[in-house]
Structure 1
Amino acid sequence: MSVDEVDGVVVEDAGWEVDPGDEPGKAILATVGRQLKTWREARGMSAAEFGARTGYGEDMIRKLERGDRIPRPEFLDRADAVLDANGLVAEMRQDIAEVRYPKPIRDLAKLEGRAVEFCLYSNANIHGLLQTDEFSRALLQTWRPAYSPAEVERYAMARQSRRSVLEKSPTPEFSFIQEEVSLRRPIGGRMVLRRQLERLLEVGELPHVEIQVMPTECADHPGTAGRIALLKFEDGSAAGRMDGDFGGRPVTDPKRLRLLDLRYGIIRSKALTPAESRDFIEQLLGET
């Protein structure tokens, strides 16, 4: 089995693990796998030969053809060249573009893609939509049980993909509230934190984005129960969740959504204003 390096992260195989409960994703992967096998056999190659020419072991090729692994885009490019498929195998990148991300993240990304307004309060870590790539990877590496390098890469890429909502057109409105502690914890080291703070200042300049800081000294607000995420859609509906309430599960019931909206409004009113927050982040940057 060969070893690849993707954005500086070493991975040891040609694909990611499939989420056991992801039935739609497994169906797509089964189709992609059958096509890979059909192309290979049409070229008269054994799995071992195909693996040798693409740089992977026979066992990994079998797993990919059974749909047991999610092929990496670069593997499909390599396979296309080996099979002389004129782009037809590489084109399957589109089929796995979403499947390569864990199903809960795909489901979240679909909701975020529909939202016209985001209300996001984070009390422990900088919100994923605001994270730099290196901060995301450093944060993921702190989780336990520890992720493998390939899993870290997979989740980091998923967050990177989700951040495209900040640039979509028409642009949604974003309200981020970050607890002060989340801006001080040097995840990945001081330089990684510095670049993360610079990213916050950059994103905060966007006309459709407001970033507010909740000072640690402000204890009288309902965010002490955990994170809040409230997504509002064009048709007037919404979806939200809060740690420690409703079992932490997403809710769409109007009564519960009004409760989340109320809590978020109180937190927003007690946080520093966007201008004050920018000054605060600049001060932290100077201290880091």
Structure 2
Amino acid sequence: MPGPKDLDPSSSPRALLGAELRHVRERKGLSQEALGMRLFVSGTFIGQLEAGTRRLRPDLAPMLDEVLGTDGFFARNCHASHKSRYPEHFAEAAEAEAEATAIREYAPLLIPGLLQTDAYARAVNRAFDPTAPEAVIEDWVEGRMARTRLLDHPTRPLLWAVLDEAALRRPTGGRAVMADALRHLASLARRNRVIVQVLPFESGAHAAMEGPVKLMEFEAAPPLAYFEGIRTGRLEDDPATVAQVRFTYQLLTACALAPAQSLALLDALAQDYSYEEHP
């Protein structure tokens, strides 16, 4: 793993806390593993805190202050790193996503958030909460579209998405919305900004039948896997678990259509949706 990256403490609250944590830990002569043992977390987790890819949990901050003798610094400043426009269960994953150098994702039921259009995101969020005020829906959509601006950079992060055919054939938001969403996907693939593969129905049983898969890699921190359910989410840094998820993803890419074939299917489905909307 690369050496620790020098963080700009002014760039975010997490960067400030991470830089201070590394400074104090090294001053105390503790390794990441040794500090993790005292806090009942992994050394990997400490490294991710220092790299700014994980949030400092409120229950952990006072323990850090006690072990490191920092006179309440982490407890006082922890709350700042928890301010987010995203739902609590997804906030830490969204922040890690913004720091990732590579993201690999399998989506069984919907187009992933980073690849959604405005109209598609609006339809997904409205289905998620049919009774939410329109202002709340718009705020959620704005947050999701803010995430897509990660792709404004020409090369980083690498984004590799395997989409189940079911996600492409479910007319989320109506046929016109789906046509635009698939054309957007195809455009990103043609500009070589993302790698898109479609896992077709004809592949049959596959390694991720139980749900979505998401992996994130970082320049100066260990990789993470993200597990998501209905209104729940969890980041996992256990090396064995991450390795198993990576193997699952490799199996998925082996079963999926090649990128060129996937692009052809996206074009065909977009054309079908357009034709059915305007016969």
How much has 1:148 moved relative to structure 2? 2.1
Alignment of 1:1-288 (within 5 A): 99-144=84-129, 146-168=131-153, 171-235=156-220, 237-242=222-227, 249-288=234-273
Separation (CA, whole Å) in 1 of partners of 2:211 and 2:129: 20
1:12-64 CA-partner distances (Å, limit 9, x unpaired): xxxxxxxxxxxx9xxxxxxxxxxxxxxxxxxxxxxxxxxxxxxxxxxxxxxxx
Cα gap change, 1:205/1:170 in structure 2, threshold over 3 Å: closer, same or farther? Answer: closer
1:221-261, Cα deviation, whole Å (9 max, x unpaired)? 111110001001112511112458xx962200111000000
| Alignment-mate amino acid for residue 224 of structure 1 | M
RMSD over aligned Cα atoms: 2.2
Which residue identity does 1:211 align to in structure 2? V
1:239/1:250 contact within 8 Å kept: yes
Contact kept? 1:242, 1:260, Cα under 8 Å = no
Residues 1:211 and 1:277: Cα distance change in structure 2 (over 3 Å): same
Q: Which has the larger radius of gyration?
A: 1
Which SS does the other structure have where 1:222 is aligned?
coil
Cα distance, 1:287 vs structure 2: 1.4
Post-superposition Cα deviations, 1:265-285, rounded to whole Å, max 9, x if no partner, equal 000111001101000111111
Structure 1: stretches of 5+ with no match in the other structure: 1-23, 25-94
The count of residues paired between Structure 1 and Structure 2 equals: 191
SS in 2 for 1:230: strand
**Contact 1:116–1:171, Cα closer than 8 Å, also in 2:** yes
Percent identity, please: 30
Note if contact 1:101-1:154 (Cα within 8 Å) is conserved in structure 2.
Answer: no
Letter in 2 for 1:212: Q
Shift of 1:99: 4.2
- TM-fit CA distance, 1:187: 1.2
Secondary structure, counterpart of 1:241 in structure 2: strand
CA contact (8 A) 2:102 2:156 kept: no
Higher relative contact order (CA 8 A, sep 6+): 2
Structure 1 residue 220: Cα displacement: 2.5
Displacement of 1:145: 5.9
Contact 2:90 2:233 in 1 (8 A): no
Change (3 A) 1:111 1:150: same
Distance 1:122 1:225, change over 3 A: same
Offset of residue 168 of structure 1: 2.8
Q: Partner amino acid for 1:277?
A: S
TM-score (norm 1): 0.61
SS at match of 2:172: coil
Look up the SS of the partner of 2:106 in the other structure: strand
